[in-house]
Amino acid sequence: MELLKQKILSEGTALSESVLKVDNFLNHQIDPELMVEIGKEFKNYFSDKNITKILTLESSGIAPSVMAGLELGVPVVFARKRKSLTLNEDLLTAEVYSYTKQETSNIAVAGKFLKKDDNVLIIDDFLANGEAANALINVVNQAGANISGIGIVIEKAFQKGGTALREENYDVYSLARIESLENGEIKFLSEAVQ
């Protein structure tokens, strides 16, 4: 997605050879116009998949997911990372190791929001080693629902998550795929889609 790549180049920072900071438009401050375009991109790619629900992870997955949900006309559920007093119904839970925070936490989704007949589109802001995506897959599997695809805003293609998920035959669509972050330079793979 050209607009996203330009935004990453102009406002993103390679914090190291493996971490990209994009808090100007995705991870802290959010660019609503860019989110609208992201929603349209996901809709164009997944429109024939009969998606009934989008599942993401709080907090940075929510903005792109809501825009995709608006375009596809489906509700968006975000897995919660923090315990909440109101989250007291039958819970679907999974462990996730956070690459950026370097800690393991639990995510939870109320069972009433994911049902057997759902076709779920999983969306997240970043794909690195696939920990977050696998935790969301685990939650969908517990619900007995179907995974129709995985939409990623920024894939770090030099880390193993994307390859592993595609080898498992998930339909992974990443809007920008980063080849490397070496020497502070952000390089993209030549194609956006696998």
Other beta carbons within 10 Å of 25? 20
Residues 87-116 that bind ligand 5GP (CB under 6 A): 98-100
CB of 76 to ligand 5GP, least distance (A): 16
Please say which residue, 12 or 39, places its beta carbon nearer to ligand 5GP: 12
Q: Does 132 carry a binding-site annotation?
A: yes
Q: Give the separation between CA 49 and CA 32, rounded to whole angstroms.
A: 25
CB of 177 to ligand 5GP, least distance (A): 13
CB of 102 to ligand 5GP, least distance (A): 10
CB of 73 to ligand 5GP, least distance (A): 25
Q: Is 77 left (phi over 0), alpha (psi -120 to 50) or beta?
A: beta
Binding track over 115-154 against ligand 5GP, x by CB under 6 A: ---------xxxxxxxxxx---------------------
172: contact with ligand 5GP by CB under 6 A: no
Q: Give the separation between CA 19 and CA 161, rounded to whole angstroms.
A: 14
Position of tokens 């998606």?
51
How many residues bind ligand 5GP (CB under 6 A)? The answer is 21
Tokens of 8: 């990453």
Give the residue from 109, 159, 110, 154 showing the smallest Cα distance to 131.
159
Residues 10-69 that bind ligand 5GP (CB under 6 A): 19-20, 22, 27, 57, 60
Other beta carbons within 10 Å of 115? 13
187-188 vs 172-180, strand pairing mode = antiparallel
Give the residue from 166, 130, 117, 150 showing the smallest Cα distance to 45.
150
CB of 62 to ligand 5GP, least distance (A): 11
Please say which residue, 95 or 115, places its beta carbon nearer to ligand 5GP: 95
Chain contacts with ligand 5GP (rule: CB under 6 A): 19-20, 22, 27, 57, 60, 98-100, 124-133, 156, 161
